[in-house]
Structure 1
Amino acid sequence: MSSVPRRTRRRTYAFLASAAGLATAAALATALPADAHESHHPHRPGRYQDVQLLSFNDLHGNLEPPSGSSGRVTELQPDGTTKTIDAGGVEYLATHLRQARKGHPYSVTAAGGDLVGASPLLSGLFHDEPTVEALNKLDLDVTSVGNHEFDEGARELARLQNGGCHPKDGCYTDQEFQGADFPYLAANVQDDKTGKPILKPYWVWKKNGVKIGFIGVTLEGTPGVVSAEGVKGLTFKDETETINKYAKVLQRQGVQSIVALVHEGGYPASGSYNYDCDSPGAGDGISGPIVDIAKNVTPAVDALVTGHTHQAYVCTVPDPSGRPRMVTSASSFGRLYTDTTLTYDRRTGDIVRTAVNSDNHVVTRDVPKAQDLTDLIGKWNTLAAPIGNRPIGYISGDIGNTGTESPMGDLVADAQLAYGRELDPKTSLALMNPGGVRAGLTYAAKGAEGDGVVTYAEGFTVQPFSNTVNLVDLTGAQLVQALKEQVSGPNEAAPRILQPSAGLTYTLDLTKSGADRVVTDSIRLNGAPIDPAATYRVAMNAFLAGGGDGFPSLGQGKNPLVGTDDLAALVKYLTANSSASSPIAPPAANRITIIK
């Protein structure tokens, strides 16, 4: 078995072919001879020191190897074809990181947020204490917060940082939770009462005179993708302005080498993790919000570690001065990590930008598992097993979670409609946000439960947020407007298609743009056109009922009724509507007609 991580071709900065650039290159070539990184004096370090920066993002509490497509990456082959590789699992991630650090005495490990939240049951059942313990064992040095760090609010985030028993559930073991050994950075998350960041805005890594500052921010739009309760009393500031502000603070403290940890991301032109987005003909390489951030963050910042979009890329984006700067993301769920070399100039205290290089590595499963992580997983699995292994239903085949309309999304919407009708028989339909459906259900799942059996742990993986199922009254006009908001306003560039319950049908014409993509005349409920003046009782989770995910019309509902949490509704539906002899078949996902 190979113990060498898979790697891409190196991405290395090159000078622009201008007279000034060539002159500078010549000077640098003189200043950086082949052995410049090694000291010729046994007691004095050389001028230039390579610093290894290892990074990852969007782990989401995936301690065990994720299953299905969530546990694979696509690799581009030399002949242009692609193949998939099984990847992920913290037992393997630990081994890869430890192997990568060998021979690198100057090594720092950073992350780009969303390390917890929307986690599988093994971590989520215990409010992500297992994941924080795992990250401590991975020797993580620093991370930014992400939007999912706010799923349970700022007070719970502070507990993950500082330790202590959960305020409601207490301690899960005979030892009190110690909290994170690494700092969470939240430079752009302001406490409305104090006007200051809720956690440290920056942190400085130091070793033998080498100093690198890290600034951590999450996306300014966090309130739009987190429940209102989770961000209550907080203001999320502009990412670029915040990074620029604290870069100046660090420079005044004598820190010239700076890395920004940004929980916001982009979309590469290829889904292959090793796609060379800087190759000729690759165009802009990546698109999306991170591009504007990268183009406007001060040149004082030497590299950006990003996340949020769950994409894999190692690209250069020019800074405001026109100099190329590395922007990286390591996909999600612990399937990749990024290895970046920063060459530190001891004379200036800055990074020699022309010497920065970076590449993504696959967390393959052909290396030995890290025993200490195996032990940690075993400890928490023992505690979770009595709950997680309980059967809650039966399925006749895989219920996937891919596509504009997914079978799993439809099943969740149907479960919420059924629960809504228990609360109020007048409930007409249910809508589910796609981001709230975190996984599908696999017929031949691993474990002792047997094929077709759905366990509580599997259900938890599908819906880990503990959102309540709410009922609201919407007019037909508001309902139509909500459907248009799927593909307009903040959702125009990256549509968020609501998953509809049975009976709601319409056509989505992707050849058009904006709100026109929803064919209004096609919208039907149980075969009848939507009446703009009529009132409809609609079931949805609390997040959508608060206008989350860019659906302000859903936040205008009247006569709200708050029910149980969404997972309980799913469990109740599966239990009532399936058995070993009569399992639930995967929904056909044909409620939305798509024209391409």
Structure 2
Amino acid sequence: MPAGTRGQTDDTTHFFRISQLAIAVSLAACSSSGTDQLSAPVRVSLIGLNDFHGNLQPPPGTVPVRAEGKDDSSQVAAGGAAYLASLVASLKAQNPGNTLVVGAGDMIGGSPLVSSLFHDEPTIDVLGAIGLDLSSVGNHEFDKGRNELLRMQHGGCYPRSADGSRGVVGVDTCMTDGRFDGAKFQYLAANVIDQKTGATLFPAYHIKTVGGVKVGFIGLTLKDTPSVVTPAGVAGLRFNDEVATINALIPTLKQQGTSAIVVLIHQGGATTATTINDKTCPGFAGDIVDIADRLDPAVDVIISAHTHQEYVCFRPDGKLVTQAGFYGRIATSIELMIDPASKKVIRKDANNVATINDVGARDAAGALIPLPVGYAAQKSDRATSALIQRYVDLTAPITSAVVGKISGALNRKTSSAGESTLGNVVADAFLAASSDSTYGTKPAQIAFTNPGGVRADLDGGLQITFGQLYAVQPFGNNLVTMDITGAQLRRLLEQQWEGKSGGGRVLPVSAGFTYSWDASVPAGAAPGTGNRVVPGSMKLQGVPIDAATTYRITVNNFMASGGDNFSVLNHGTHVQQGISDVDATSAYFKGRDMVTVPRLDRITRLN
């Protein structure tokens, strides 16, 4: 049994032995009666990955696992592509030749500097080396637009940087012998339609023959991708409904003789489980549940993503729904037994396996936490490690530069009102970077950032490096300052809850601006229907906001272009571009002896 996997294949192995015995008895009976012998069931293994986001090095954070005979969970350090490569290899060795590695999107985008500085070419190369066969697209695959995504698939050097300069071969692009060959794996995009041609951006499906049986894979992303991506990134593309797209493809896959159908979809849900592999799936909810329950019964497995959660759940009709967390900390080991005669899956199961590394988890005092009984760290794959180290060395002078100090941990954990300490600091940094005459003729008065743009916590110690700040804001967004009225400011806040966002898009706001919102008021389901912001509660430096007065605000260019459905910002006036978000935050840290942990008192939640 490979290190780090505990005993996740015990039940499966036991089942296979029983099945093989039953098959042998059946074959003997058929032979004695003179009838045709039945074909033996075929074991097909899948390894599911999702939301890798270019985390080539071990990311911060841990995974909760449960030791044998224990009721509580233990935290283990997990992740890192070199360790993931070893885990994938060990899982493949359990079913040689009949194992496929598949992804459910967001394999790139929002990546640490070690990958993003080189336009995510390192991650594409590493995923190919690990053995990824297929992946759906996710919303972050569109961060830099369709042409860049097509380059990721087909290869070629990076043509143009955000500032208009060209990529430099051997410096930030085409780092291997002056070329980049593109992905060894195939992207799938069943519901992403080129509006000019009517064709899908990538193939809608792919059929793999494994052990003599055909397995069909349908890959797609969430239909709401345009609302969570910069509009320029999806220009000219249409994103169709997930369920209608999948169900329409089922007859085609069946006609081609598939024995199993697997959906790779960048959409997900969540459970309330406190450790991995709690297959009771407590509180399982989210968009993926409704999608799964409306899919054709011919779908056997749904490998999901997007919500950065971990689960292995069975729906009432038998569909298996999985997700493997995020950043490569977990891989999903899926086992299918397929009857080639009936062309049906006769048994399926899955287990999420932690990519335990040898970095080690530490307690609050900094002491190394021993691994629970039955667990062991993966060995770092040498070839993958060497590939990554090349880029680590190239970025080291940048990532290791100290930019400031913090008085305590700054993280994304939100209060009941939706505030976080790190979100507040980022908003303050935006305001500081746009509050003098060097940025524009009129300084900003309020700054916001989107919570999805804050990707990592700052809890690694007193000193903060540029690499840590880049991990917080890896998208390369620029600041944008504009004028909006008090009435538009109110609309901006109401749009935090409109549609499906619930309370998950409460915007971090800079110091000096305060307001209250009432959780007892239903969130607006359509534009203009929300009324959660308490009348008269919006204040700037203690002075009530006037609906007719113009205020100058700063956001990032993602929000400014209507990202996350903040469409009111499309109507801002006197718009001016500013510096990058990470440069703004870096300058904020450099300009202070110590960045203190802010109080969470800018937003008040009632009821």
Distance across 2 between alignment mates of 1:191 and 1:311: 31
Contact 1:38–1:45, Cα closer than 8 Å, also in 2: no
Residue in 2 aligned with 1:438? 455
Residue in 2 aligned with 1:16? none
Q: Tell me how far 1:178 sits from its aligned partner.
A: 1.6
Of residues 482-491 and 258-267 in structure 1, the stretch that sits farther from structure 2 once superposed is 482-491
Residue in 1 aligned with 2:221? 218
- Structure 2 residue 63 is the aligned partner of structure 1 residue 73: yes
List per-residue Cα deviations over 1:375-407 (Å, max 9, x = no partner): 011111122123222333333332222213122
Residue in 2 aligned with 1:317? 315
3-state SS of paired residue (1:520): coil
Residue in 2 aligned with 1:408? 422
Letter in 2 for 1:336: I
Q: Tell me how far 1:83 sits from its aligned partner.
A: 2.9
Q: Tell me how far 1:245 sits from its aligned partner.
A: 2.0
Contact 2:4–2:355, Cα closer than 8 Å, also in 1: no
So what's the TM-score if we normalise by structure 2? 0.86
2:84 to 73, 86, 93: 93
Residue in 1 aligned with 2:393? 382
Distance across 2 between alignment mates of 1:409 and 1:10: 44
Contact 2:261–2:300, Cα closer than 8 Å, also in 1: yes
Distance across 2 between alignment mates of 1:305 and 1:516: 37
- Structure 2 residue 64 is the aligned partner of structure 1 residue 53: no
Distance across 2 between alignment mates of 1:415 and 1:39: 71
Residue in 1 aligned with 2:23? 36
Distance across 1 between alignment mates of 2:25 and 2:49: 29
Residue in 2 aligned with 1:191? 194
3-state SS of paired residue (1:60): coil
Contact 2:4–2:353, Cα closer than 8 Å, also in 1: no
3-state SS of paired residue (2:396): helix
Distance across 2 between alignment mates of 1:155 and 1:141: 22
Letter in 2 for 1:338: T
Contact 1:76–1:275, Cα closer than 8 Å, also in 2: no
Residue in 1 aligned with 2:284? 286
3-state SS of paired residue (1:199): coil
1:126 to 101, 114, 118: 118
Distance across 1 between alignment mates of 2:287 and 2:240: 15
Contact 2:4–2:354, Cα closer than 8 Å, also in 1: no
3-state SS of paired residue (2:200): coil
Residue in 1 aligned with 2:506? 497
CA shift in 2, pair 1:130/1:45, >3 Å: farther
- Structure 2 residue 159 is the aligned partner of structure 1 residue 145: no
Residue in 2 aligned with 1:26? none
Distance across 1 between alignment mates of 2:467 and 2:443: 32
Distance across 1 between alignment mates of 2:578 and 2:548: 26
Contact 1:120–1:461, Cα closer than 8 Å, also in 2: yes
3-state SS of paired residue (1:521): coil
Residue in 2 aligned with 1:22? none
Residue in 1 aligned with 2:73? 82
Letter in 1 for 2:92: R
1:297 to 295, 298, 303: 295
Letter in 2 for 1:52: S
List per-residue Cα deviations over 1:155-206 (Å, max 9, x = no partner): 1111111111111313332421121111011111111111111111111111
Residue in 2 aligned with 1:242? 245
- Structure 2 residue 94 is the aligned partner of structure 1 residue 103: yes
So what's the TM-score if we normalise by structure 1? 0.87
Distance across 2 between alignment mates of 1:415 and 1:511: 32
List per-residue Cα deviations over 1:83-111 (Å, max 9, x = no partner): 32221111111111111122302111111
CA shift in 2, pair 1:174/1:374, >3 Å: closer
Residue in 1 aligned with 2:446? 429
Contact 2:49–2:103, Cα closer than 8 Å, also in 1: yes
Distance across 1 between alignment mates of 2:24 and 2:448: 59
CA shift in 2, pair 1:2/1:184, >3 Å: closer
Distance across 2 between alignment mates of 1:222 and 1:363: 29
1:558 to 573, 584, 606: 573
Unaligned runs of 5+ in 2: 29-36, 161-166, 358-376, 524-529
3-state SS of paired residue (1:522): coil
Distance across 2 between alignment mates of 1:147 and 1:110: 17
Q: Tell me how far 1:2 sits from its aligned partner.
A: 7.7
**Percent of aligned pairs with the same amino acid:** 39
CA shift in 2, pair 1:520/1:363, >3 Å: farther
3-state SS of paired residue (2:574): strand
Distance across 2 between alignment mates of 1:251 and 1:292: 23
Residue in 2 aligned with 1:477? 487
CA shift in 2, pair 1:210/1:39, >3 Å: farther
Residue in 1 aligned with 2:373? none
List per-residue Cα deviations over 1:562-592 (Å, max 9, x = no partner): 22221222222222x22xxx22222223212
CA shift in 2, pair 1:226/1:526, >3 Å: same
Q: Tell me how far 1:510 sits from its aligned partner.
A: 3.8
CA shift in 2, pair 1:388/1:346, >3 Å: same
Residue in 2 aligned with 1:17? none
Residue in 2 aligned with 1:399? 410
Q: Tell me how far 1:308 sits from its aligned partner.
A: 0.2
Distance across 2 between alignment mates of 1:588 and 1:11: 50
Q: Tell me how far 1:443 sits from its aligned partner.
A: 4.7
Residue in 1 aligned with 2:3? 3
Q: Tell me how far 1:523 sits from its aligned partner.
A: 2.0
Contact 1:431–1:499, Cα closer than 8 Å, also in 2: yes
Distance across 1 between alignment mates of 2:443 and 2:482: 11
Query: When the two structures are aligned, how many residues end up with a matched partner?
Result: 552
Residue in 1 aligned with 2:542? 527
3-state SS of paired residue (1:500): coil
Contact 1:476–1:535, Cα closer than 8 Å, also in 2: yes
Q: Tell me how far 1:250 sits from its aligned partner.
A: 1.7
CA shift in 2, pair 1:8/1:434, >3 Å: farther
Distance across 2 between alignment mates of 1:125 and 1:455: 16
Contact 1:433–1:498, Cα closer than 8 Å, also in 2: yes
CA shift in 2, pair 1:495/1:437, >3 Å: same
Letter in 1 for 2:495: E
CA shift in 2, pair 1:94/1:443, >3 Å: closer
Contact 2:53–2:110, Cα closer than 8 Å, also in 1: yes
Contact 2:447–2:553, Cα closer than 8 Å, also in 1: yes
Residue in 2 aligned with 1:262? 265
CA shift in 2, pair 1:40/1:392, >3 Å: farther
Q: Tell me how far 1:116 sits from its aligned partner.
A: 0.5
3-state SS of paired residue (1:246): helix
Q: Tell me how far 1:480 sits from its aligned partner.
A: 1.4
Letter in 2 for 1:335: R
Residue in 1 aligned with 2:559? 544
Contact 1:112–1:263, Cα closer than 8 Å, also in 2: yes
Distance across 1 between alignment mates of 2:121 and 2:22: 45
List per-residue Cα deviations over 1:410-469 (Å, max 9, x = no partner): 11111111222232334210011000011122352xxxxxxx332221121111111121
Distance across 2 between alignment mates of 1:410 and 1:374: 36
Residue in 2 aligned with 1:373? 384
Unaligned runs of 5+ in 1: 13-28, 445-451
CA shift in 2, pair 1:251/1:495, >3 Å: same
Letter in 2 for 1:139: G
Distance across 1 between alignment mates of 2:381 and 2:429: 40
List per-residue Cα deviations over 1:528-561 (Å, max 9, x = no partner): 1111111111100111112221322233322222
Letter in 1 for 2:65: E
Contact 1:395–1:586, Cα closer than 8 Å, also in 2: yes
